[in-house]
């Protein structure tokens, strides 16, 4: 967590698991970056969000004491030899910041 002026940055680690039967290609930034996640494995990624606070007097430390949510979207498809077949699956959830931790709502 950091703040410069009225811009704050909150970062957290996200663990993504692939409990399925196939290797998948995953991305959370519209496939600007992607990762092959083998079946039965997991990946860790640091996720950062930039917050624009009302003004410089608002302190990020005080702001995060309140409960708030941030939307998060992960898209994946099954890795296949035939690149023409891609069934994209999107997982959209909200991460709730509470008690100093992000918890994904079910």
Q: What is the pLDDT of residues 58-81, one digit of tens each?
A: 788 877 777 788 888 999 999 877
Rounded to two decimals, the pTM is 0.75
Whole-angstrom Cα distance, residue 98 to residue 10?
13
Domain assignment of residue 91, given as a range = 2-104
Average pLDDT over all residues of the chain: 86
Residue 9's region, left for phi above 0, alpha for psi from -120 to 50, else beta, is beta
Q: Measure the CA–CA gap between 80 and 57, rounded to whole angstroms.
A: 52
pLDDT value at residue 32: 94
- Domain count for the chain, please give it: 1
């Amino acid at each position: 967590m950091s703040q410069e002026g009225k811009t704050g940055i909150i970062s957290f680690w996200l663990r993504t698991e692939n409990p399925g039967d196939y290797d998948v290609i995953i991305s959370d930034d519209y496939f600007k970056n992607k990762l092959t996640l083998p079946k039965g494995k997991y990946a860790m990624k640091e996720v950062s969000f930039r917050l624009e606070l009302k003004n410089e007097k608002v302190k990020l430390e005080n702001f995060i004491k309140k409960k708030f949510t941030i939307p998060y979207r992960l898209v994946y498809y099954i890795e296949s030899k035939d690149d023409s077949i891609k069934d994209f699956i999107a997982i959209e959830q909200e991460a709730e910041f509470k008690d100093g931790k992000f918890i994904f709502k079910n």
